[in-house]
Amino acid sequence: MPPVLSAEEIREVNTRYHDVAADHYDSKWGIDFGELGGEQVLQKVRKVLGAHPGPFESSLEIGSGTGYFTLNLMRAGVIEQATCSDISPGMLAALSANAQRLGLEVSTAAADAEALPFPDESFDLVLGHAVLHHIPDLPTAWREFERVLRPGGTVLFAGEPSRYGDRLATVPKRAATAVAPLWRRVMRAGPAPPAEGGAPDAALESVVDVHAFAPGELSEMARGAGLSDVRVIGEELLANWFGWTNRTLEATADPNEVPWAWKWYAYRGYLALQRVDRRVLESRLPPAIFYNLMVSAKKPL
């Protein structure tokens, strides 16, 4: 059982955990700012904002990490002027380095989502990816999103863990753990070496992830903050099961000994199943069973 921490302690652990994670974050999660990363982010945004999202004159990202969403959306012409905020200065330093390498200008601000250091009605778009589940006091944070948004502006959060989807994903994880020794023998790969000194403490993961959501909870939070046109959709079912199975297997092996052909199969398979999820399943099945949830809303004029 993870320890019960106060909201202040959760924020402190989040900052420390993500500061340590920042250096290896992009390689660990396959974050890409080229054609593939741009396409992945655009596909997600199009699901809720339509085929031609934006352009938004000014945006604020919450928990921007190394810039996965904002930098890719700037490159795609969806965002013009961007501000990126995060509780972790280490993540913002990695983001600034990525922006500089890509030739993009971005303002950054180390800030807690619950107390944003921006005047009222400053942005046309407030967005985030994989961040809401880290924030202790979500009603306060949602009021902040609404406050800094201009009337008519858009809120969009993607990549939030779905409570039921997360439970369903334990099935492939458990199955993969059980067959991992056999899989390593077939792959002729040795067991994983001990974690490097700079790697984030795995035990902290259960502390920094403070929520998983039912779709109705996300829409209630958005409405509770005074937003309208609220939409929640689910994404990734088959792709997620496939991805967790492969990541769980790979985590048990020495990465240098996992054959290239396996990595290719895992990567292409994931992309193919994402297409099946997007084209066939996401519009037909209830959002609650998918692994990730997205929520979008508008600030009334």
Q: Which of 33, 45, 54, 68 binds ligand SAM (CB under 6 A)?
A: 68
Instruction: Decide if residue 219 touches ligand SAM (CB under 6 A).
Output: no
Instruction: Decide if residue 75 touches ligand SAM (CB under 6 A).
Output: no
Structure tokens at 289: 């069973």
Q: Nearest-CB residue to ligand SAM? A: 65
Tell how strand 149-161 and strand 292-298 pair up.
antiparallel
Count other Cβ atoms within 10 Å, centred on residue 208: 20
Structure tokens at 269: 């398979």
Residue 238 half-sphere exposure toward CB, CA atoms < 13 A: 15
Nearest CA to 97 out of 61, 128, 66 is that of 66
User: Is residue 295 within 8 Å of 219, Cβ to Cβ?
Assistant: yes
Q: Which stretch, 10-18, 191-199, 239-247, 287-295, contacts ligand SAM (CB under 6 A)?
A: 10-18
Where in 113-172 is the site for ligand SAM (CB under 6 A)?
113, 129-131, 134-135
Instruction: Output the smallest distance, CB 117 to ligand SAM, in A.
Output: 12
User: Is residue 155 within 8 Å of 219, Cβ to Cβ?
Assistant: no
Number of residues that bind ligand SAM (CB under 6 A): 20
Q: Which of 65, 165, 200, 287 binds ligand SAM (CB under 6 A)?
A: 65
Instruction: Output the smallest distance, CB 181 to ligand SAM, in A.
Output: 30
Q: Which stretch, 42-50, 82-90, 227-235, 277-285, contacts ligand SAM (CB under 6 A)?
A: 82-90
Q: Which stretch, 56-64, 233-241, 242-250, 265-273, contacts ligand SAM (CB under 6 A)?
A: 56-64
Nearest CA to 256 out of 182, 189, 197 is that of 189
Q: Which of 38, 54, 82, 86 binds ligand SAM (CB under 6 A)?
A: 86
Query: How many residues are there in the chain?
Result: 301
Instruction: Output the smallest distance, CB 90 to ligand SAM, in A.
Output: 8
Query: Residue 93 carries which side chain, given as an amino acid letter?
Result: A
Instruction: Decide if residue 88 touches ligand SAM (CB under 6 A).
Output: yes
Those residues with Cβ within 8 angstroms of residue 119's Cβ, 6 or more apart along the chain or in another chain: 148
Binding site for ligand SAM (CB under 6 A): 11, 14, 18, 31, 62-65, 68, 86-88, 91, 112-113, 129-131, 134-135
